[in-house]
Copies of this chain bind each other. A is one copy, B any other.
């Protein structure tokens, strides 16, 4: 126990786009687990868009991070010491361990994982929270039927990439929206989507129209803003919109003004905002299906890996700008 825990704290709240100075990095001695607790050495930290919301001093679906607290985040690692009967030294576990190299936990929300079935990092992505988000949002809210058209924004990302691949398995036309030709090529060639619209190419409405000749039956929304306004013009009657994220808006002090909401009425659309942590009963089925598909080679994914906890703030800011390509991770061990 002569190691140190390196951790990233929230130093100040951003206004608009966060900057590295909003974070502070410090080293502190490791703490011994007390009765009922376990000490985890994290191997991988997950960086996700929802963390931006936790930096605000605002009401949201989860408590904000207080100034001076460790940034929240999921991580996967190895048990170094345990005074909790459910976990033993050497177990691999995933949990909300925060932006730090080591964490002490009472076991709440901690789940054992098997690194022999799928790689450890996948438990933060395709076989973790983002994968379950895609599975539950698409199947439970989107409810796609064979032959329908499913559109997903942030299509090369941790959630979007899974949405489109499940849509294909269900016999749907899968159309992605992503930023740049490299991501769009990946979405169509490696993930097997039928089409991908590059929203940075300056022809969003025209390209979207061409990619959705039969309109849109399910729109899995991750970004909001201009992209949402464009997809609204393509909705079919009785379309469904699982509203998972609005990442284009998280750093805007003045949100993008959406004009095409009339389409929701005319087409009798069901739109539902959701957070996967509200749907815990669905996790076992989803995780089982996702792990099976990964093991069978049916579900592909890509990771962006930053090296070391000190790179977490920069990698997070890059992710908010869309610089990551696939699931954004930080390698900690």
Contact = CB atoms under 8 A, between A and B. Distances in A.
Contacts of A246: 261-262, 265
Given A61-B237, A257-B258, A273 B264 contact: yes
B224 A266 contact: no
Nearest 6 Cβ contacts at the A-B interface: A257-B257, A265-B273, A255-B259, A264-B273, A271-B271, A268-B273
A244 B264 CA distance: 10
A59 interface: yes
A245 interface: yes
28 contacts: A53-B266, A59-B266, A60-B266, A61-B266, A61-B268, A224-B261, A224-B262, A243-B265, A244-B265, A246-B261, A246-B262, A249-B262, A255-B259, A255-B260, A257-B257, A257-B259, A258-B259, A264-B271, A264-B273, A265-B273, A266-B273, A268-B272, A268-B275, A268-B278, A270-B271, A270-B273, A271-B271, A271-B272
Is the interface on chain A under 10, 10 to 19, 20 to 34, or 35 or more residues? 20 to 34
Contacts of A260: 255
Given A237-B61, A246-B262, A249-B262, A267 B273 contact: yes
Interface in A215-245: 224, 228, 237, 243-245
A269 interface: yes
A325 interface: no
Q: Which of A244, A256, A264 has the most CB of B within 10 A?
A: A264
Chain A interface secondary structure, helix, strand, loop or mixed?
loop
A256 B260 CA distance: 9
Contact of A258 (B245, B258, B266): B258
A278 B269 CA distance: 12
Contacts of A275: 268
A254 interface: yes
A141 to B, nearest CB: 9
Interface string A29-64: 000000000000000000000000100000111000
A255 B261 contact: yes
A266 B246 CA distance: 10
Contacts of A278: 268
A254 B245 contact: no
Interface string A127-148: 0000000000000000000000
A283 interface: no
